[in-house]
Each structure stands twice: as structure tokens, then as C-alpha cells.
């Protein structure tokens, strides 16, 4: 088994290894330039109506049911005149 693994040669691994070496060195140099501190940029997600609806489905169902009752009551009141 060891003989099989020692003969395995993947050229993309060597390319990836050398690229990671360059990127890591550049990242460490940049980190040292900033005196060892780096603040990650924050990303604020906008809350959409669909997300609010999914998070508050019970409240939304109650409101929709209430509107349905009110519309039905109004239609029944005007229809029976």
C-alpha cells in the first residue's frame, strides 16, 4: 500500500501548494503591516418581508385571519341589504 501511495504524483497538488505558500506569505505580511489587527468588514443583511413573514408566521396568520373575518363581515353586511 505504501509503495502505491509513494508513486502517486498529482501536478495540481504541487501548483496548489505553491500558490498557498505565496498567499499565506502575503497575508502574514499584510497582517504585520496592520500591527497584528484586522477588522473583518461587517455585512448587514436587509430584512425582507418574506423573512419577517417566515419568522412571525403565527402573528401573520392571525392578522390575515382577522382581515378575512372583517372583509367577510363587511361583505355579508352589505350583501344582505
Is 44 part of any domain? Answer: no
Which of 4-8, 33-37, 73-77 is the least confident region?
4-8
Q: Into how many domains does the chain fold?
A: 1
Query: 12-39: per-residue pLDDT in tens?
Result: 777 887 888 888 888 888 888 888 777 7
| pLDDT attached to residue 7 | 54
- Does residue 47 belong to any structural domain of this protein? no
13, 14, 37, 17: which is closest to 25 by C-alpha?
A: 17
Cα 81 to Cα 77: distance, rounded to the nearest angstrom = 7
Cα separation, 75 vs 73, in Å, equals 6
Q: Is 46 among the domain residues?
A: no
Q: Which stretches of the chain are assigned E, i.e. beta strand?
A: none
- Residue 57 pLDDT: 92
Query: pTM of this prediction?
Result: 0.40
Residue 16 inside a domain? The answer is yes
Amino acid at each position: 500500500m505504501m509503495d502505491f501511495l509513494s508513486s502517486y504524483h498529482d501536478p495540481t497538488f504541487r501548483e496548489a501548494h505553491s500558490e498557498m505558500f505565496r498567499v499565506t506569505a502575503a497575508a502574514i505580511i499584510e497582517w504585520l503591516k496592520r500591527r497584528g489587527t484586522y477588522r473583518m468588514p461587517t455585512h448587514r443583511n436587509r430584512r425582507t418581508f418574506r423573512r419577517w413573514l417566515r419568522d412571525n408566521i403565527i402573528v401573520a396568520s392571525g392578522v390575515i385571519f382577522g382581515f378575512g373575518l372583517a372583509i367577510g363581515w363587511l361583505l355579508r353586511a352589505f350583501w344582505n341589504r
